[in-house]
Amino acid sequence: MRLVLVGPPGAGKGTQAQFLAAHYLIPHISTGDIFRANLKAGTPLGEQAKSFMDRGELVPDSVTNEMVKDRLTHEDAKNGFLLDGFPRNVAQAEVLRDILAEKKTPLHAVLEFALGDEEIIARLSSRRTCRDCGGPSVGLDKCPTCGGEVYQREDDKADVIKRRLEVYTEQTAPIIAFYRNADLLISISAVGSVEAITDQAKSALKNVAQ
Residue list 66-105, contact with ligand AMP (CB under 6 A): 85-86, 88, 92
Check binding of 12 to ligand AMP (CB under 6 A).
no
Considering the complex, state which of residue 24 and residue 35 has its C-beta at the smaller distance from ligand AMP: 35
Size of the residue set binding ligand AMP (CB under 6 A): 17
Check binding of 130 to ligand AMP (CB under 6 A).
no
Q: How far apart are the first and last CA of the chain?
A: 6
| Annotated catalytic residue 164 | yes
Check binding of 59 to ligand AMP (CB under 6 A).
yes
Give the chain's length: 210
| Contact residues for 88 (Cβ-Cβ < 8 A; gap 6+) | 31, 58, 64, 171, 172, 175
Per CB under 6 A, the list member of 6, 26, 35, 120 interacting with ligand AMP is 35
**Nearest in space to 4 (alpha carbons), one of 92, 66, 64, 75:** 92
> How many other CB atoms sit within 10 Å of the CB of residue 192?
13
Measured CA to CA in angstroms, residue 109 lies from 3, 83, 112, 178, 182 at distances of 5, 11, 10, 12, 10
Near ligand AMP by CB under 6 A, which window of 50-58, 125-133, 142-150, 182-190?
Answer: 50-58
Q: Would you call 191 helix, strand, or coil by DSSP?
A: coil
Active-site positions? 13, 88, 127, 153, 164
What residues line the site for ligand AMP (CB under 6 A)?
9, 31-32, 35, 52-53, 56-59, 64, 85-86, 88, 92, 155, 164
